[in-house]
A and B are shown apart, each in its own frame.
Chain A
Amino acid sequence: MTDFSEALETALLLMVNLDAGLVEIIALSLKVSLTAVAVAALIGLPLGALLAVSRFPTRRFWINLLNTFMGLPPVVVGLMVYLLLSRAGPLGPLGLLYTPTAMVIAQTLLILPIIAALVCGLVQGLFDEYHEQLRSLGSRTLATARTLLWEGRFGLVTAILAGFGRGSAEVGAVLIVGGNINHSTRVITTTIALETSKGNLALALALGLILILVSLLVASAAQWLHTATVRRSRQ
């Protein structure tokens, strides 16, 4: 209980005082996670929709693979990205290891299957309802995928938020490829891990509360956008 009350007090103090170090960490966390979500959405939305509306022999296998990758262990992804970006790795010359870009890559790999699989399920449901009508209007696979993505636009918010949730709460992969370097690659989750290992539980808990608050703010903003769009489209 003492830890919790201390954590609340510390969190409030950090936020009220707009602690520069904390602001920097939150800003980097948001920057990394939102960029990763944007990249994953850019790839995952069309990928999921195309898998839902296409018919080819190995389709079921790819959907199963996508569903399996939804639960990819972050440390394994972190390790793979580390091997790719390390000096001896194929992308070593790019010098990306221990940079925010490396963290974005790792998070994108974790988020992409989540967004693609959720979109695939969503579009598949719409496809069952719409495909005869769309075919009768002469729609081909690509146009059908685009049409159904637009039809399911309100449900896509959930898929994207799920991706953001995965990215912002992730610690293993970003710790491996980012290195938790102060003023460079330190994000909320890695700071929590660091402070916990130092025994500074109150500060770690405070950062945890702030992380939840940040996630809540992003989810609320997305929900508000979603509601406003639905209302506007129904007018």
Chain B
Amino acid sequence: MKLEIEHLVYRAGGRTLMDDIHLISESEHCTALLGANGAGKSLLLRLCHGLLEPAGGSIRWNSRPPRELGAAITMVFQKPVLLCRSVRANVEHALYLQGVARAARRARAEAALELAGLADCMERHADVLSGGQQQRLAIARAWALKPAVILMDEPTSKLDVRSAASVEKTIGDLRREGIKIILTSHNLAQVRRLCGEVVFLHEGRLVQHCGMDDFFARPADDIVCEFIESQTF
């Protein structure tokens, strides 16, 4: 999916939080949104999904605004928001919301849970899963909708190393399925492992948009250098 962001502006509470963002991404790779806290990464994800409407400019996926794309774009949040029901029912409910026929829901839910490595705990209550399992369930739920794009807001930030690795493996599997992934992260090692493209934001402005190797080899300015150093050491 081709992402075109043109002169994007977003304001809230009298402040400009996103200022004249302009970028085109056709990369088949996973894209990382980087920047310090408050840079506007999560905000940009929400705008790309259509959860928020920009004050100016436009966002288009294959020349269409996000709100026209329905479940073609799904989102996984930093803290997985799961329904108070079984693992399988969580995925099935997402399919129900999309109008998938009852008969097809079970098979699609099971396929998604198998991909996420949760096949052996389908009947367990979502509340009793570990943090990593909950995040994988949230990803499985997003994947079950057969999206073209999944937006992930710091999907491993609250997980230990082992759980983060299991989530990374699931993200890798999604990439191989041909799904475009855009994620925010503070973990540069993880970004290197998963992504091929970087969008760097600072205080609501686009500072650098380039390939992964270029980002580390040729940082656009001191802010990017500082960020790389602060996250590396």
Please give, as numbers and ranges, the residues of chain A lying within 8 Å of B51 by CB-CB distance. Answer: 132, 135-136
Partner of A234, one of B71, B75, B77, B128: B128
**Contacts A135-B51, A136-B51, A136-B75: A234 and B125 contacting too (C-beta < 8 A)?**
yes
A233 touches B98 (CB 8 A): no
Q: Which of A129, A133, A143: most chain B Cβ within 10 A?
A: A133
Please give, as numbers and ranges, the residues of chain A lying within 8 Å of B49 by CB-CB distance. Answer: 136
Distance in Å: Cβ of A233 to nearest Cβ of chain B: 7
- Interface mask (A115-159 → B, CB under 8 Å = 1, otherwise 0): 000000000000001101111111100010001000100000000
A138 touches B125 (CB 8 A): no
Q: Is B136 an interface residue (CB 8 A)?
A: no
CB interface residues, B 118-150, toward A, < 8 Å: 125, 127-128, 141-142, 145
Q: Is A235 an interface residue (CB 8 A)?
A: yes
How distant is the Cα of A33 from the Cα of B51 in the complex, in angstroms? 44
**Contacts A129-B81, A233-B84: A137 and B125 contacting too (C-beta < 8 A)?**
no
Q: Is B106 an interface residue (CB 8 A)?
A: no
Q: Which of B46, B71, B74, B93: most chain A Cβ within 10 A?
A: B93
Partner of A139, one of B77, B84, B97, B125: B97
Distance in Å: Cβ of B44 to nearest Cβ of chain A: 15
A137 touches B77 (CB 8 A): no
How distant is the Cα of A130 from the Cα of B81 in the complex, in angstroms? 7
Distance in Å: Cβ of A100 to nearest Cβ of chain B: 38
A143 touches B97 (CB 8 A): yes
Partner of B77, one of A132, A138, A143, A147: A132
Partner of A138, one of B46, B70, B84: B70
Please give, as numbers and ranges, the residues of chain B lying within 8 Å of A136 by CB-CB distance. Answer: 49, 51, 74-75, 77, 142
Give the interface size class of chain A: 10 to 19
Please give, as numbers and ranges, the residues of chain B lying within 8 Å of A143 by CB-CB distance. Answer: 97
Q: Which of B94, B125, B128: most chain A Cβ within 10 A?
A: B94
Interface of A is mostly: helix
Distance in Å: Cβ of A135 to nearest Cβ of chain B: 6
Please give, as numbers and ranges, the residues of chain B lying within 8 Å of A147 by CB-CB distance. Answer: 83, 93, 97
How distant is the Cα of A234 from the Cα of B84 in the complex, in angstroms? 9
A151 touches B97 (CB 8 A): no
Q: Is B85 an interface residue (CB 8 A)?
A: yes
Partner of B81, one of A133, A138, A235: A133
Distance in Å: Cβ of A28 to nearest Cβ of chain B: 38
B98 touches A133 (CB 8 A): no
Distance in Å: Cβ of B148 to nearest Cβ of chain A: 14
How distant is the Cα of A139 from the Cα of B97 in the complex, in angstroms? 6
B93 touches A138 (CB 8 A): no
How distant is the Cα of A65 from the Cα of B3 in the complex, in angstroms? 46
**Contacts A233-B125, A234-B127: A138 and B83 contacting too (C-beta < 8 A)?**
no
- Interface mask (B40-81 → A, CB under 8 Å = 1, otherwise 0): 000000100101000000000000000000110011010001
A138 touches B128 (CB 8 A): no
Please give, as numbers and ranges, the residues of chain A lying within 8 Å of B98 by CB-CB distance. Answer: 137-138
The residues of B with any CB-CB pair to A shorter than 8 Å are 46, 49, 51, 70-71, 74-75, 77, 81, 83-85, 93-94, 97-98, 125, 127-128, 141-142, 145
- Other A-B pairs beyond A136-B77, A137-B97, A137-B98, 13, CB < 8 Å: A133-B77, A133-B81, A134-B97, A136-B75, A137-B74, A138-B70, A138-B97, A139-B97, A147-B83, A151-B83, A151-B84, A234-B125, A234-B127
The 4 A-B pairs at the shortest CB distance, nearest first, are namely A133-B81, A136-B75, A139-B97, A137-B94
The residues of A with any CB-CB pair to B shorter than 8 Å are 129-130, 132-139, 143, 147, 151, 233-235
9 contacts between A and B (CB under 8 A): A132-B75, A136-B51, A136-B75, A138-B145, A139-B97, A143-B97, A151-B83, A233-B84, A233-B85
